[in-house]
């Protein structure tokens, strides 16, 4: 089991829990909560696999993923009272998932031999699409369009990955740096309510 | 022409009519009604083909399907006054489609050699995704998230299929049992307003 | 560089500008505007490539496209005050994109050897899906369901393409005729508020 596998699994767990939390806040029934957990968790990677042509998509080839999602779902359901401060837990798991999926998306795009700009696009879509699907299905404003910087954090994370990778740093350093960049940008953005500058004149 | 082909065509017809009915209830123009009929009818199977990598998708390889959808569309349009009790007709056709697509999804997943859990996921998505697209395009709450049991019926149907198939029963029995299970669960759920138990404390 | 390449690039530019304009009208942040520009521009072609199985999708193989979209985005942002009559500019670029993408969709479907009915479906989806995604992400009623004839124009355009192609006319004539048909139908429809006849009795 490589470091990559471990991060992969942690990303799946984080997004599955974040999906379950949003769905329970919306008071969906047990099956609905599971569907949202599943879609949030595999949505970004499924889009990535379909666009690059790596079918059957990853979770059909590695069934462990489905059971990991089930486990995360039951964890979120049973500990929903402990996860009382839902908004904070949700933000935490969503942000960790975002960082880990940025790593995986970059890695897969790089291995497939794409141009750096395409690799960054793939990484950003892999990382942010699960949360977008979750929010569309739950009828919330997609995270990507909310005030605070979101997908932009993935773009910077993927750039750092490519930079360090080209400078010859080893895997562990690249992974730690990438996820730290994504998670830090996202936390700073939310804590200080940072958003991108706008084009529009304020009145 | 095998039993499988016959069921396939009946499923396409059922979902095309159900799509036309929802779209006419929304008073879309003739082309809009056709688009919804088309999306409802082929949506689930298209998602299935894209995820397992069986492209070009089925309706591009077998053009009869497009003409069958056109026929169903004209049927729904011309008999819209006879289908007066739209809600009941809609429920009927949607439920039949659900049962038949569960069979097809399971069969295709099984032939592709996937793990049983993946086969059940594929069957459930094939059967329920057409209705979900229909409802999103028509701006209704997706069937899958409405009160009564919906996708859960497909999960049970696909399980029964796998069970009987592994016990060596012949195709006809497996098909009849699967569609009966899906359709019966769905009818009972709607008639008795059955929904899954919820996690949330009632007040 | 062939005529086909030139039209392809013009189509990408038109839809990227139309996407930027809608997103700026919705006051999205700079990154949000870029995402919408990107999705509008490549959405239809991406759906087409995924459904026919031509992955990795076109913009992953030809990175110029990403830079062309970036350029169009900056153009739309810098000249947004000149494009003051946003509604008219938007309609113009959307309509040009519609005509050009109908040509490309028909060409690609034809080269892949599909049945004419499938070719027309592919052309219509390629041309209209970018605008549909744009409107769904921006929370507007999808163009395809608005009053005036929209996707129907693509259906007629693709039919004219196939007709003239089969009659042996050369590429340039086929291209000019197809885009003229689509653009003319769309302009007439909007100017005269033409919509398809409806099934429903007026009261």
DSSP A140: S
Assigned token pair, B166 = 């592994």
Minimum-distance CB partner of A35 among B52, B117, B144: B144
For residue A96, the Cα-to-chain-centroid distance in whole angstroms is 7
Return the top range by mean pLDDT from A141-155, B168-182, C86-100: B168-182
Assigned token pair, A157 = 């994370």
**How far A120 CA sits from the closest chain C CA (Å)?**
11
- Domain coordinates of chain C in residue numbers? 3-191
Q: Is C159 on the interface with B (CB under 8 A)?
A: no
**Chain C residue whose CA is closest to A200:** C27
Mean pLDDT of chain B: 86
Q: How confident is the model at residue A26 (pLDDT cuts 50, 70, 90)?
A: confident
Backbone φ and ψ for A148, nearest 5 degrees, come out as: -75, 145
Q: How many CA atoms lie within 13 A of A201 on its CB side?
A: 3
Q: Are residues C198 and B59, on separate chains, in Cβ contact within 8 Å?
A: no
Judging contacts by C-beta atoms under 8 Å, the chain C residues touching residue A112 are 56
Judging contacts by C-beta atoms under 8 Å, the chain A residues touching residue B142 are 137
Instruction: Produce one character per residue of A81-106: b if its CB has 16 or more CB atoms within 10 Å, e if not.
Output: eebeeeeebbbbbbbbbbbbbbbbbb
Question: How do residues C132-179 score in pLDDT, each as one tens digit?
Answer: 888 877 777 676 776 667 888 999 999 999 999 999 999 899 999 999
DSSP B36: H
Q: Is B86 on the interface with C (CB under 8 A)?
A: no
Judging contacts by C-beta atoms under 8 Å, the chain A residues touching residue B147 are 29
Judging contacts by C-beta atoms under 8 Å, the chain C residues touching residue A133 are none
d(Cα B197, Cα C3) in Å, to the nearest integer? 61
Residue B165: what pLDDT? 95
Sign (positive/negative) of CA torsion B198, A72, A80, A139?
negative
Residue B1: what pLDDT? 65
* ipTM of this complex prediction, to 2 decimal places: 0.82
**CA gyration radius for chain A?**
17
Q: Are residues C118 and B63, on separate chains, in Cβ contact within 8 Å?
A: yes
Q: How confident is the model at residue A111 (pLDDT cuts 50, 70, 90)?
A: very high
pLDDT reading at A200 higher than 80: no
Identify the weakest region by mean pLDDT among A35-39, B120-124, B179-183, C129-133. Answer: C129-133
pLDDT reading at C85 higher than 70: no
Q: How confident is the model at residue A83 (pLDDT cuts 50, 70, 90)?
A: low
C129 versus C136: the higher-pLDDT residue is C129
**How far B152 CA sits from the closest chain A CA (Å)?**
7
Please give the average per-residue pLDDT across B184-188, as a whole number: 91
Identify the weakest region by mean pLDDT among A19-23, A164-168, B119-123, C147-151. Answer: C147-151
Q: Where are the alpha helices (DSSP H) in C112-137?
A: 116-137
Residue A47: what pLDDT? 93
Judge contact between B176 and B92, C-beta under 8 A.
Answer: no
Give the Å distances, CA to CA, from B132 to A203, B33, B151, C138, C197: 42, 16, 10, 20, 28
Judge contact between A100 and A11, C-beta under 8 A.
Answer: yes
Judging contacts by C-beta atoms under 8 Å, the chain B residues touching residue C112 are 56
**Chain B residue whose CA is closest to A137:** B142
Mean pLDDT of chain C: 86
Please give the average per-residue pLDDT across B87-102, as a whole number: 84
Mean pLDDT of chain A: 86
Q: How confident is the model at residue A146 (pLDDT cuts 50, 70, 90)?
A: low
d(Cα A53, Cα B53) in Å, to the nearest integer? 8
**How far A119 CA sits from the closest chain B CA (Å)?**
21
Q: Are residues B66 and C118, on separate chains, in Cβ contact within 8 Å?
A: yes
pLDDT reading at C43 higher than 70: yes
* Neighboring chains of B (3 or more beta-carbon pairs < 8 A): A, C
Q: Could you say which residues from 103 to 122 on chain A have a Cβ atom under 8 Å away from some Cβ of chain C? A: 112, 114-115, 117-118, 121-122
- For an interface test with B, give the residue of A27, A42, A56 to mutate (most B CBs within 10 A): A56
Instruction: Produce one character per residue of B165-176: b if its CB has 16 or more CB atoms within 10 Å, e if not.
Output: beeeeeeeebbe
Minimum-distance CB partner of B55 among C51, C118, C145: C51
Assigned token pair, A187 = 């936390």
pLDDT reading at A203 higher than 60: no
Q: Are residues B31 and C196, on separate chains, in Cβ contact within 8 Å?
A: yes
Residue B181 is inside which H or E element, if any? helix B171-191
d(Cα C43, Cα C153) in Å, to the nearest integer? 19
In degrees, rounded to 5, the angle at the alpha carbon of residue B93 between the alpha carbons of residues B91 and B99 is 100
Residue C203: what pLDDT? 43
pLDDT reading at C117 higher than 80: yes
Question: How do residues C69-82 score in pLDDT, each as one tens digit?
Answer: 999 999 999 887 77
Q: How confident is the model at residue B5 (pLDDT cuts 50, 70, 90)?
A: confident
Residue B181: what pLDDT? 95
- For an interface test with A, give the residue of B145, B148, B195 to mutate (most A CBs within 10 A): B145
Please give the average per-residue pLDDT across A166-185, as a whole number: 93
pLDDT reading at A94 higher than 80: yes
Q: Are residues C199 and B77, on separate chains, in Cβ contact within 8 Å?
A: yes
Q: Is A57 on the interface with C (CB under 8 A)?
A: no
Residue A72: what pLDDT? 94
Residue B201: what pLDDT? 58
* Neighboring chains of A (3 or more beta-carbon pairs < 8 A): B, C
d(Cα B122, Cα B114) in Å, to the nearest integer? 10
Give the Å distances, CA to CA, from A69 to A35, A36, A129, A198, B130: 10, 11, 17, 38, 24
């Amino acid at each position: 089991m490589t470091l990559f596998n471990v991060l992969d699994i942690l990303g799946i767990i984080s997004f599955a829990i974040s999906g379950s939390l949003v769905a329970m806040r919306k008071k969906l029934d047990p099956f609905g909560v599971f569907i949202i957990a599943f879609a949030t968790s595999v949505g970004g990677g499924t889009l990535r696999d379909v666009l690059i042509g790596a079918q059957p998509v990853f979770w059909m080839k590695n069934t462990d993923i489905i059971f990991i999602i089930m486990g995360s779902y039951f964890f979120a359901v049973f500990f929903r009272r402990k996860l009382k401060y839902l908004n904070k837990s949700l933000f935490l798991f969503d942000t960790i998932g975002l960082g880990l999926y940025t790593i995986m998306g970059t890695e897969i795009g790089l291995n497939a031999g794409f141009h750096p700009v395409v690799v960054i696009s793939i990484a950003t879509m892999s990382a942010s699409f699960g949360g977008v699907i979750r929010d569309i299905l739950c009828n919330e404003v997609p995270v990507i369009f909310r005030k605070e910087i979101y997908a932009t954090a993935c773009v910077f994370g993927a750039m750092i990955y490519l930079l360090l990778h080209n400078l010859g740093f080893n895997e562990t350093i690249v992974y730690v740096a990438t996820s730290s960049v994504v998670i830090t940008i996202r936390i700073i953005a939310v804590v200080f309510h940072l958003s991108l500058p706008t084009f529009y004149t304020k009145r």
